[in-house]
Amino acid sequence: MDVLGHFNYWVAIALAMVGLYAVTARGHLIKKLIGLSLFQTSVFLLFISIGKVSGGTAPIIAEGFTVYSNPLTHVLILTAIVVSVATLAVGLALTVAIKRTYGTEEDDEIEALDRAEDEQ
């Protein structure tokens, strides 16, 4: 098996797992959002790695170049980055709103407060 040929994919997967770990294991809501954005960028890395052609250049048509990298993946990721910042902003806004309402942003404390409210 070719290690160098798949190294990009493996780094993308490792980043995705770091993100997954942060989302599942960490209790702080902002930390979860950081993990979510790590996961997102790992997907970007996977796509751009798939689109790369060795010896290619950026997909702007110019004389003297014949090999270009795949423009389709670039388009998909370009829009995905802008959407990712939009989702992150909504998530942060929700976190701020939760902090105002509950006074904490750790998910176990929020759960405890919810349960206490249910019992009343």
Partner 1 sequence: MLLVFVLATGIAAVWLRNLLASAMLLGIYSLLMAALWVVLDAVDVAFTEAAVGAGLTTALMLFAIWLTGRQEKPPVRKPWFPLAGALITGGLLIFGTIDMPKFGDPQAPAQVHVAPYYLENAEAQTGVPNVVTSVLASYRGFDTLGEVTVVFTAGMGVVVLLGGLRRRRRTDET
Partner 2 sequence: MKDYFVLRVMAKLLIPFILLFGFYVQMHGDYGPGGGFQAGVIIAAALILYAIVFDVGPARRVAPMWMLVALSCIGVLLYASVGVATMMAGGQFLEYGVLAHDPAHGNHLGILIIEIGVGVAVAAAMLMIYFSFAGRR
The residue type at 64:
G
Contacts to partner 2 from residues 36-65, by CB under 8 A: 58, 60
Nearest by Cα to 13 from 45, 36, 51 = 45
93 binds partner 2 (CB under 8 A): yes
Contacts to partner 1 from residues 22-41, by CB under 8 A: 22, 24-28, 30-31, 34-35, 37-38, 41
For the bound state, the minimum distance from the C-beta of residue 117 to partner 1, rounded and expressed in Å, comes to 19
For the bound state, the minimum distance from the C-beta of residue 40 to partner 1, rounded and expressed in Å, comes to 10
Nearest by Cα to 49 from 5, 87, 105, 86 = 5
**Using CA atoms, how far apart are residues 85 and 91, in angstroms rounded to an integer?**
10
Contacts to partner 1 from residues 100-119, by CB under 8 A: 100, 105-106, 108
C-beta of residue 22 within 8 angstroms of C-beta of residue 34 = yes
107 binds, among partner 2, partner 1, none (CB under 5 to 8 A by kind): none
